[in-house]
Amino acid sequence: MGEALLSRLLDQGIFSAEAVVVSEPQGERRQFLEHTYGVETTSSNKTAVERADIILLAIKPQMLSAVSQELGQESLLSRPLGLSILAGVSLSRLYQCFPGWAMVRAMPNTPATVGAGITALAAGSGVSPEQLHQARQIFASVGTVVEVPEALMDGVTALSGSGPGYIALVIEALTDGGVAVGLPRATAMTLALQTVRGTAELLIQQQDLHPAMLKDRVTSPGGTTIAGMAELERAGVRSALIEAVRAANRRSLELGQGD
């Protein structure tokens, strides 16, 4: 996710390569980033942040304590903007680790790697309007941005964070259904992918078109779609998706209890 943001921010001219320093412990990876993006790299987190006014934390949650101990506060600029994409790590925990920062918690999802993601932002206390604007601009480089109260971040994780997995399962099942009725797998996959993509794009572009209205438009009396819809309702697909989001929300809450 960090590289996806780096690539898009540079491509869109939001930051120049000269303005970016990347901290990466692996030498081979540092060489790749320098060669590919022309950015400065270092193996030292402290060196990376000492002149920074915006700091992206794109690390694993279990690394948080070690990274915060390494950084300290003595060499940082006055109240830098910290952007955290650490799943399940609350703003209160982030402020404990980085008390001198203005923190924004972000939850992007995997389609961000192709510029089609959605990121939810929850700003902490002391984040200025300018810093919040900077945060929105950074994550807008990889897709859509919404702001939510932090209390809803577990719900965001359950829906858009985990959602690509649900949609991938649906696409796989539709493809298998196509194979079951005689379509070559490659053709079935193309049909399933474009159907999901096109339906989403239609609903995005026609914002007054509710999904239920679209469903009704393509469901003719006594036709093929209503036959398929009846089977989906019989199998409880709607309820299963709702319960998937609820289960993921519960798990996100559990993981966050370690704060």
Judge whether 108 and 117 are in contact, CB under 8 Å.
yes
Domain boundaries of the chain, sorted by first residue: 2-152, 163-256
CATH 1.10.3730.10 fits 163-256, yes or no: yes
The residues near 230 (Cβ < 8 Å, ≥ 6 apart) are none
Contact 118, 146 (CB under 8 A): yes
Q: Out of 2.60.40.10, 3.90.1200.10, 3.90.550.10, 3.40.50.720, select the CATH number for domain 2-152.
A: 3.40.50.720
* Chain segment 2-46, per-residue pLDDT in tens: 999 999 999 999 999 999 999 999 999 999 999 999 999 999 988
Average per-residue pLDDT in the chain? 92
Residue 133 corresponds to which tokens in the numbers above? 């604007």
Closest alpha carbon to 164 in 205, 120, 106, 118: 118
CA atoms within 13 A on the CB side of 83: 24
**Which tens digit of pLDDT belongs to each residue from 200-229?**
999 999 989 999 999 999 999 999 999 999
Measured between alpha carbons, how far is 125 from 43 in angstroms, rounded to an integer? Answer: 31
